[in-house]
């Protein structure tokens, strides 16, 4: 399944804004690789779900300044602030 199809499935704002096409162009060669992905700003987790499905072998972590009440299988979600040097 293409990244665009996965994006439509999860109704991501990144899909609407046109980033999905760019991400597919540059990241598709890593689709079956064991890579690390860090997403800063989780919101409702749509992008994390997209990454999880598109990169099945990736280690994925999302951080947000607000604690999240949901989980996504094989995705670590942390509460933190990128401006916090200790974090």
Quote the pLDDT of residue 16.
Answer: 60
Regions in the chain scoring below 50 on pLDDT:
none
Sheet containing 59-64, strands listed edge to edge, beginning at the edge strand earlier in sequence: 36-40, 59-64, 75-79
pTM for the full predicted model: 0.85
Quote the pLDDT of residue 7.
Answer: 86
**Angle 20-58-53 (CA atoms, 0-180°, nearest 5)?**
50
Domain boundaries, the chain: 3-79
Say if domain 3-79 classifies as CATH 3.40.630.30: no
């Amino acid at each position: 399944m293409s990244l665009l199809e996965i994006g439509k499935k999860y109704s991501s704002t990144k899909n609407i804004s046109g980033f999905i096409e760019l991400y597919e162009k540059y990241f598709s060669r890593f689709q079956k690789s064991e890579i690390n992905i860090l997403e800063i700003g989780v919101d409702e987790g749509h992008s994390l779900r997209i990454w999880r499905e598109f990169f099945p072998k990736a280690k994925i972590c999302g951080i947000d300044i607000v604690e999240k009440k949901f989980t996504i299988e094989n995705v670590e979600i942390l509460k933190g602030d990128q401006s916090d040097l200790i974090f």
